[in-house]
Amino acid sequence: MSECLHLAEMPRPEPAPLAETCPECLTDGTHPVQLRLCLSCGHVGCCDSSAGRHATAHFSSTGHPVMRTFEPGESWRWCFVDGSIV
């Protein structure tokens, strides 16, 4: 894992999830493969293996740099800016 200055800037504690699943997938009628939680605002989006790639779309529209897996038993984080697991 690399050092990421963006992770250090995230709110503590982490924001509460705004949904239990990807709301864009619900609207689109698609199914998320895996979920991601935005550590800036709590948006829940689907991963890039999902049809909508809504977590990446959220980063593209907001610039929120770090998300973490929202899957049970996982704890890794991803920085879109650095392109690395943090």
Percent composition of the chain: helix, strand, coil (DSSP 3-state, to 5)? 20, 20, 60
- Structure confidence at residue 15 (pLDDT): 96
How many Å apart are CA 58 and CA 74, to the nearest integer?
21
Q: Is 36 part of any domain?
A: yes
CB 20 within 8 A of CB 73: no
User: How many CB atoms within 10 Å of residue 2?
Assistant: 10
Number of domains in the chain: 1
For the segment 13-27, the average pLDDT, to the nearest whole number, is 97
In a domain, 81, yes or no: no
Q: Evaluate whether residue 63 is within a structural domain.
A: yes
Per-residue model confidence as pLDDT tens digits over 24-70: 999 999 999 999 999 999 999 999 999 999 999 999 999 999 999 99
Reported pTM: 0.93
